[in-house]
Structure 1
Amino acid sequence: MTTMSIPFEKNKVMEEQLWRTFVDYPILTKSYDEVMVIHDNNLNAFVPTSLFDANFLASYLQYNTKVFETDFFTHDVIFPYEMNNIYVPFVNINNFLLDQYETFEYQNSNSVLVKQLLDSSKNKEEKQVFVHVQKEHFELIVVKNQQLILFNSFQYKTPEDFIYYILFTCEQLQLNPETILVQILGNCSEDDAYFKIAFQYIRNCSLLDVSNKTSILDVTPTALRNHFILYHS
């Protein structure tokens, strides 16, 4: 699998940047049997199937994110975990891509992330903390034997912000930093200040071990951790 990162500027029109990307990379204009679009944002909430009603999607988000009446809401079914991820997709991006491809599927990035971490927690009775690091925010997920204990997303600017949110979450869940296992993935390496400060305050802190999948996907561990969601979508 080949991956490519193309930075977009926040203060420029998204559709214009997408158009330029398709011009610069003709491979995107080819015909494909299947196209999957991953919407990477934290405008989402996980809801158990027993409490889920597709007629009231906006209601699930109004307490933890800013939503508007004009927003479009959808959801991903997290199979087989009897859970749904309600989120706000980037409608302008979808509309642009509809002009490029006859059809495509899309989902929220956190649906992929949480499902993979739940899969990996099978038969592990101890609680595990996963930290998925991105440029300006990170996701914190706590699981126990295929049960989602907590999902949250935090914006950060400094290593001190980073470790504060992790330790605060551990405190709220009564997880001991001396014993809890914390695994880090995403845009992070052992040389990063963010990993170093986490390693300083958390005894069992490490990068996520992906050695069992690197040979299958023919990718380096660093690349697999960095593009974990993309490789598992």
Structure 2
Amino acid sequence: MSPTVTAASLVPAALHRLRDETLDPQQLAAYNLYLTAGPAGLRLGVADVKRNKFVALEEYAAPEADTTLAQQLAALATDHDLLGRTGWNRVRLAVHNRAFTLLPAPLFRPGDETAYLGLHHALDTRHESVHAYTHGGPDIVSLFATDRSLSTWFKQTYPAGRLVHRTSALLQGVLQQSENNGPARVYLSIGPRQLTILVMRGKQLQLCNVFPYSTPEDLIYYVILVMQELQLNPDQDPVMVWGDLTHDSELFSILRKYVRNLRFGNRPFDLGYSYRLNDLFEYRYFELFALHLCE
């Protein structure tokens, strides 16, 4: 740790700390813990297993100090009454980065993860580790890299936990809301400087990719490019959006200008949500909630 970086400066700033009164920190076996980590910071969700209901949501902004996600998680866990504790029914952590690829499950051979990912990402084996997650429904394997310090912290803290890529949570959530023989649909998940585009035809995955952007013009360029490549019509074909934007934001304004059939997405179906979350926009935190659908 740099001498100029104090322990206090590693702790992410709390943006939301919403908890249902029924949450009992002394009965962790009754709950699932879900975490997402990426450029937007850290997000934490707790779901009551028996009631199939989210009873807590917390969001933390990344500190200004130059820190890793592992440092942020470790610093937050120091004085947190939930994070870092053991005894949960299930723990999932979704990482948000561009270092991933998807592969049809019949083509996947265990042990070749690094070779597959190397076709799409220049892996730094000193600082990164490679992981795999198998989607049962679409018969797809997700291969992705994470910062080695993050995967080490997670494995040491939650030996039975599972790492997944953020796109896997998005895909599982979209599959839940897709019709078997439905038309082609475009799904957008917008985060800080990263846009995830998912295209489905019914329950068949057509495309999944993460694009970097710095301006609203960059964002709409990728959306229109993908739609044109897949012969979709921005004036007619439906586009659903989740993420970190508002109805009056510049990002939404430019999307609405070029995409006519645009609407905000809903939370994952068949799950309960505490009234404490009622003031949050329905289209936010989709991947965090959708982790509940990842086995």
Residue aligning to 1:164: 221
What percent identity do the matched residue pairs reach?
Answer: 20
The answer to whether structure 1 residue 123 and structure 2 residue 123 are counterparts is no
With structure 2 as the length reference, what TM-score do the two structures score? 0.71
Report the Cα offset of residue 56 of structure 1.
1.8
Report the Cα offset of residue 189 of structure 1.
2.2
With structure 1 as the length reference, what TM-score do the two structures score? 0.89
Residue aligning to 1:229: 287
- Aligned partners of 1:98 and 1:148: how far apart in 2? 31
Report the Cα offset of residue 201 of structure 1.
0.7
Kept after mapping to 1: 8 A contact 2:176/2:269: no
Match for residue 18 of structure 1 among 63, 68, 73: 73
Kept after mapping to 2: 8 A contact 1:190/1:207: no
More helix by share: 1
Q: Secondary structure at the match of 1:41?
A: coil
Kept after mapping to 1: 8 A contact 2:104/2:141: yes
Residue aligning to 1:148: 205
Residue aligning to 2:28: none
Higher relative contact order (CA 8 A, sep 6+): 2
The answer to whether structure 1 residue 54 and structure 2 residue 81 are counterparts is no
More strand by share: 2
Kept after mapping to 2: 8 A contact 1:189/1:207: no
- Aligned partners of 1:181 and 1:74: how far apart in 2? 33
Task: After superposition, give the CA deviation of every residue in 1:113-138 in whole Å (9 maximum; x if it has no partner).
Answer: 11221232123431000000101101
Instruction: From the superposition, tell whether residues 139 and 61 of structure 1 become closer, same or farther in structure 2 (CA, over 3 Å).
Output: same
Aligned residues: CA RMSD: 2.3
| Aligned AA (2:116) | Y
Task: After superposition, give the CA deviation of every residue in 1:200-227 in whole Å (9 maximum; x if it has no partner).
Answer: 111101111449668x223338444211
- In structure 2, the gaps of 5 or more residues are 1-54
Kept after mapping to 1: 8 A contact 2:178/2:203: yes
- In structure 1, the gaps of 5 or more residues are none
- Aligned partners of 1:168 and 1:193: how far apart in 2? 20
